[in-house]
Structure 1
Amino acid sequence: MTDKGDDDFSNGLDADLADLCRRYGFDRYVLAGFPRADKSGFRDNIIHSNWPTALVNAYSISDAFRSSQLISVLKRQVVPVALSGACFWQDENGRDLADLGGEFARFGYENVLACSLHDAHMNIYVLAVSSGREVLEEAAMASLYYEAVQILDRASGETLLPQGPRDKLTAREIECLRWSAAGKSSEEIAIILSISSHTVISYLKSAMRKLEAVNRMQAVARAYRYRLL
């Protein structure tokens, strides 16, 4: 169950982003975590947006987010950048990653202003605001960027990205992950821990479930990110 304080915080952040858009003449916004090797999908990373549900679904299924021009540009550029709406579904060479031009055109994503943001925990976020309006002048872009930084900074000093799995891992699960990270097989871990290989596999499966990982490698990567190992 979500704490009421968390709901208030989340709603406040959403309202701040919506207000930022309105004042600078944009219609749509999305704040998302920067895609990582163990968490690269759009739906996995989205934090707040006012995108239509149908578009969120279509974009998530396409898996274009991590390889998009939007992400490629923000990996190289710190200051805000003006892009066309195609930055969401095309790569940096202008090749279509998915047939989504019609979907985005329906909802008015002609022009995009995007930037990367860091929180106090050094997590990286993507903020992209969109509309059919002309691109902002440089001074206005800088002003919007500064206000976006302030909005993120007002997030009570808390990270918007999860700092750990929802279900706490047991000591044995962490131990099995640690030995997996060291390159040990289930049979080798069983000998080291004096338990059966079946039990090792059971611990690892439980850890993968809690970490929402599809395999051991991804579970280890997420455990490192959560500083469990």
Structure 2
Amino acid sequence: MEMSRVDAVWSFETAVSRVSGRGISREQLIRRLGELAGRSGLGSGLAALTEYVGATHYLLARHDLSQDGGLDFVVCSDWPFDIVRRLSGIVAGLNAKTTELEKCLAVLQPTFQTVPDDIDLPRGVSRTYCAVTFNVGRSRFSLMLLFPADVILSQEALRDVAVLAGYVASLKTEVGIRQDREFELTERELECLFWIAEGKTSEEIAVILGISRNTINNYITSVMRKTATRTRSEAIAHAVRNNLV
């Protein structure tokens, strides 16, 4: 049987050779990450985490950039490009459907999603991929892992990986990719968000700040657009999760 184009790029034999080193202990992993810190790229640290948990390939995604579409949400990856290109729409869709409360509860909790049937995967690789989310400052990330079909990933090890992925990502300048002003709240927007969290209505906030109710509503609309939230309650949850209020 001929190998598919994806198989030709990434053979399962290569994947197996990477998984074979997963007997590393947590202490050894932490020591290794410490040695890599400051002298290696983000990919080296993510590769070490991937090996530790018994997966084969990693993809680090930044959620606040997924709403733009395209591939800008990918911070660092060694997944085959064809899969990443298809995954971008899936990630954006899942993120849009997730409430702020669900996002809070999902942090450091491994979840599993299925790759669509029409996407070619290398032989022996599971059609299920794992994602663990974590925060670096105000930005939310997911580390997505492909793994062999015969491997059962440890929930405890995955949580370790999520915590340590946040450590690795926080040290690397690559995480700062496209720190656009569009995603930062202005002082006025933060003021409005604070007063919303205090239970004030638009009319009350207008009186407090000395500006019109319509202007307050415009600020609140801008806050929800920038934070990808749909209601004031979700905006408040986002603000609490990111230490904005």
TM-score normalised according to structure 1 size: 0.51
Task: Report if the CA contact (8 A) 1:65-1:88 is conserved.
Answer: no
Task: Report if the CA contact (8 A) 2:129-2:147 is conserved.
Answer: no
Task: Report if the CA contact (8 A) 1:119-1:153 is conserved.
Answer: no
Q: 1:171 aligns with which of 167, 172, 187?
A: 187
Alignment of 1:63-142 (within 5 A): 63=94, 87-89=112-114, 100-104=115-119, 106-108=120-122, 109-110=125-126, 116=132, 127-132=143-148, 134-135=150-151
Name the CA distance, whole Å, in 1 between partners of 2:220 and 2:200. 12
The residue number in structure 2 matching 1:28 is: 57
Alignment of 1:127-166 (within 5 A): 127-132=143-148, 134-135=150-151, 153-155=167-169, 157=171, 166=181
The residue number in structure 1 matching 2:46 is: 17
Contiguous gaps of at least 5 residues in structure 2: 1-37
Name the CA distance, whole Å, in 2 between partners of 1:146 and 1:184. 40
- Tell me how far 1:197 sits from its aligned partner: 0.9
Task: Report if the CA contact (8 A) 1:39-1:45 is conserved.
Answer: yes
Name the CA distance, whole Å, in 1 between partners of 2:166 and 2:199. 39
Alignment of 1:26-65 (within 5 A): 27-32=56-61, 47-49=75-77, 50=79, 52-60=83-91, 63=94
Q: 1:218 aligns with which of 234, 237, 244?
A: 234
Taking only aligned residues, the RMSD between alpha carbons, in angstroms, comes to 5.3
Name the CA distance, whole Å, in 2 between partners of 1:196 and 1:137. 55
- Tell me how far 1:40 sits from its aligned partner: 11
Alignment of 1:196-207 (within 5 A): 196-207=212-223
The residue number in structure 2 matching 1:186 is: 202
Distance 1:64 1:156, change over 3 A: closer
The residue number in structure 2 matching 1:208 is: 224
Contiguous gaps of at least 5 residues in structure 1: 1-8, 90-99
C-alpha distance after superposition, 1:36-72 (max 9, x if no partner): xx9999x8986543252343135336639989xxx9x
SS at match of 1:88: strand
Seq. identity, %: 30
- Which structure would you say has the larger RCO, counting Cα contacts within 8 Å and 6 or more residues apart? 2
Distance 1:175 1:125, change over 3 A: closer
